[in-house]
Structure 1
């Protein structure tokens, strides 16, 4: 278990803290901390504040991911999905919501807009080599295997 500190930024004490909505949920729902409704037109995006900041161990990253219900029902997603929150970031968590739907979508204060999923970050050290081990795939990429 990892301890993650959370701070509700001033003026956002009325909003719920991120929470898992069921026992098996891997994501913690994030709530919109907008001061007034924000409308996102089709094909446009807006940065939506959450009113919280976190501090987590360096072994973790937090990923901001879309909520499946908003994606299915309204065509909303997170523009830079998954958005990465690094362990040394202490600012407010923001969600860049993108409207891929055909109708405008209005975000209200307290709406569940995204989810926060924590992942372990492995320690990696690069080793410079002259030649990489060969594989069947080789350098093929971006659809090289067909449809």
Structure 2
């Protein structure tokens, strides 16, 4: 399987896996200058790249755990979704849920792209759903 990548800006850095066993491709900030994210701020960070994901897959944008745990920098929508037919520049919404400003540097790894199979089943409206042991029991119904 191959992902076609196009640089949209000359200073863009192509995504790479940090290790052989890494599931995600690290995305780098394509910035002209450092960007300081104050506590509570929401920002959109460009990557400078576009991708052609294989048909039948979906790209999931995820945060980097070190940025989240150490600095409170996380994705503004928790997980971004990139459809396989999208061809525009990849950008990532970030927010600072920490209590200190964080400065993102040009070229810094700040998010990850996971490419996974995507099921697209047909929908069928019904009057009743098949029963299960759990039924409609929801939040907290299976214990702590």
TM-score computed with the length of structure 2 as normaliser:
0.93
* Match of residue 3 from structure 2: 4
* Match of residue 136 from structure 2: 139
TM-score computed with the length of structure 1 as normaliser:
0.91
Cα pair 2:34 2:105 within 8 Å, conserved: yes
The answer to whether 1:28 aligns with 2:25 is yes
* Match of residue 86 from structure 1: 83
* Match of residue 123 from structure 2: 126
- 1:146, distance to aligned residue in structure 2 (A): 4.5
Cα pair 2:76 2:93 within 8 Å, conserved: yes
* Deviations, residues 97-145 of structure 1 (Å, cap 9, x unaligned): 1111110001110010000000101130112222111122212223344
What is the CA–CA distance in structure 1 between the aligned matches of 2:67 and 2:140, rounded to whole Å? 29
* Deviations, residues 41-67 of structure 1 (Å, cap 9, x unaligned): 112110000000001222111110000
Cα pair 2:59 2:114 within 8 Å, conserved: yes
**CA RMSD of the aligned region, Å?**
1.4
Unmatched segments (≥5 aa) in structure 1 = none
Unmatched segments (≥5 aa) in structure 2 = none
- 1:72, distance to aligned residue in structure 2 (A): 1.3
| Structure number with higher strand proportion | 2
Aligned length: 144
* Match of residue 38 from structure 2: 41
- Tell which deviates more after alignment, 128-137 or 38-47: 128-137
